[in-house]
Structure 1
């Protein structure tokens, strides 16, 4: 009987083939732009637009990865600014989202569903739509040409998604734990700090990683509008400001882009096991 069940659970050969074909097609569309961008960074500038098109570069080298440091003197500063802005945004979002998610997930109060829906509605508005009112607010509070001009909008746009993710995760934690602690005289703050937080750490890790990625990716539009000083420029606007002046040096631009995203990719890969653990833990009913 056990052998029969094992045979039933197996995939047939054509199902395995279809599965791997689907994975290959998916990975091709996801990775093809990155592979092409990396190959562009290896090609000499004079051969980038030569015909016929050749996938593998001739006379390819890593020369652009060295020359782009001379072409962009403030490149290291741009990378630091991007990491600093993303780190501060992530920290502020977590400080605000953890207690808010606990309130939505564990405390019953009137209008909680409407308020949660209003948070989600914020994500329906593009940042470009709100640039003018945001610019007026930044100018009124003296935050133009500072880190805060990119941190504050980043926090505002990333909080709704973070609340939805973390509150959903906290709802899966058994309520009996809250009730037992409440019977013993524990306050909501004590329950959050001693009971919920240790169990919600996988979910908090997922929110932290997704928030950091979102903050790292959305810096261009805010920095372009609210900042004009080089010392505060993040990586996307710093590269745009330089390569957009005259002729675009595509191989150096691609090399700078890969060097710029490399620290973020290393961080994501280092925390990958925590990300997977948080996602799988949230998918299992406690």
Structure 2
């Protein structure tokens, strides 16, 4: 008689081939732009428009990774600004979203559904649609040409999706944990801090990662409109400097793009381990 575990998750040889073929096709479409971008950064400009086009660079080098710093002086400042803005935006969003998500997940109050729908409606508006009123608001508050001019819109546009995401995760946490804490005399704030937060840590990390990526990606339109000083400009504005009037320095642009996203990739890499470690943290009463 066959063992039970041998009867589970068994695939025929052609099913295995089909699964791996599907994964290969998916990875090809996902990774191909990054591979091509990296290869472009290794090519001299003379090879980028040669005919026939060469996918693999001939006599490729990392020269563009050196000259990119010369072409756009202060490029390191752009990277620092993007990293700093995204970090602050993520921290502020988490501080505001965690209690709001807990309230929407645990409490029933009049207008909750309408308020959630209003949050969702905010994401339907593009930042470009609200540029003029946002500019007038930033000017009246004296925030133009400051970090706040980029952070404030970033926080406002990222909070709604973060609330929906974290609220859904918190709704999956059993209410019996809250009730047990109340029986022991715990307050709502203590229950959130010592019971719910450790269990919700994987969801919080997902929100943190998506918020950080979203903030890192949406800075261009706000920075270009609300800021005219290089000292506050983020990475997308620095990348825009490689677009000249006569030509685009594609190899240096690709090199700068990979260097610019490196800090974000490092942060995401180290945050991923908390997604697993937080799954069981706090599930047992201390």
The residue aligned with 2:68 is: 68
What secondary structure is seen at the aligned counterpart in 1 of 2:69?
Answer: helix
How far off is 1:183 after superposition? 2.7
**Does residue 1:12 correspond to 2:18, yes or no?**
no
The residue aligned with 2:217 is: 217
Q: Distance in 2 between matches of 1:222 and 1:152?
A: 10
The residue aligned with 1:256 is: 256
Q: Would you say the 8 A contact 2:72–2:241 is kept in 1?
A: no
How far off is 1:34 after superposition? 0.7
How far off is 1:57 after superposition? 0.4
How far off is 1:242 after superposition? 4.6
Q: Return 5+ residue gaps in structure 2 as ranges.
A: 282-286
Does the C-alpha gap of structure 1 residues 49 and 243 become closer, same or farther in structure 2, counting only changes over 3 Å? Answer: same
How far off is 1:107 after superposition? 1.3
**Does residue 1:91 correspond to 2:91, yes or no?**
yes
Which stretch shows the higher mean deviation, 136-145 or 106-115? 106-115
Q: Report how many aligned residue pairs link the two structures.
A: 281
Which stretch shows the higher mean deviation, 198-207 or 54-63? 198-207
How far off is 1:79 after superposition? 0.3
How far off is 1:168 after superposition? 0.9
The residue aligned with 2:284 is: none
Q: Structure 2 length as normaliser, TM-score?
A: 0.93
How far off is 1:271 after superposition? 2.2
How far off is 1:205 after superposition? 1.2
Q: Distance in 2 between matches of 1:185 and 1:2?
A: 53
Residues 115-137 of structure 1: CA deviation (Å, up to 9, x unaligned): 11211111111111111111111
Residues 138-178 of structure 1: CA deviation (Å, up to 9, x unaligned): 11111111101110000001001111111111111111111
Does the C-alpha gap of structure 1 residues 270 and 231 become closer, same or farther in structure 2, counting only changes over 3 Å? Answer: same
Q: Distance in 2 between matches of 1:268 and 1:59?
A: 33
Correspondences of 1:16-165 after superposition (within 5 Å): 16-165=16-165
Which stretch shows the higher mean deviation, 262-271 or 51-60? 262-271
Q: Would you say the 8 A contact 2:242–2:249 is kept in 1?
A: no
What secondary structure is seen at the aligned counterpart in 1 of 2:3?
Answer: helix
Q: Distance in 2 between matches of 1:274 and 1:158?
A: 22
What secondary structure is seen at the aligned counterpart in 2 of 1:257?
Answer: helix
Q: Structure 1 length as normaliser, TM-score?
A: 0.93
How far off is 1:272 after superposition? 2.4
How far off is 1:241 after superposition? 3.2
Q: Distance in 1 between matches of 2:197 and 2:4?
A: 45
Does the C-alpha gap of structure 1 residues 277 and 111 become closer, same or farther in structure 2, counting only changes over 3 Å? Answer: farther
What secondary structure is seen at the aligned counterpart in 2 of 1:180?
Answer: helix
**Does residue 1:196 correspond to 2:215, yes or no?**
no
The residue aligned with 1:186 is: 186
Q: Distance in 1 between matches of 2:111 and 2:185?
A: 27
What secondary structure is seen at the aligned counterpart in 2 of 1:243?
Answer: coil
Does the C-alpha gap of structure 1 residues 145 and 245 become closer, same or farther in structure 2, counting only changes over 3 Å? Answer: farther
Superposed CA RMSD in Å reads 1.9
Q: Would you say the 8 A contact 1:206–1:279 is kept in 2?
A: no
Q: Return 5+ residue gaps in structure 1 as ranges.
A: 282-286
How far off is 1:279 after superposition? 8.8
Residues 239-261 of structure 1: CA deviation (Å, up to 9, x unaligned): 21353444211111111111111
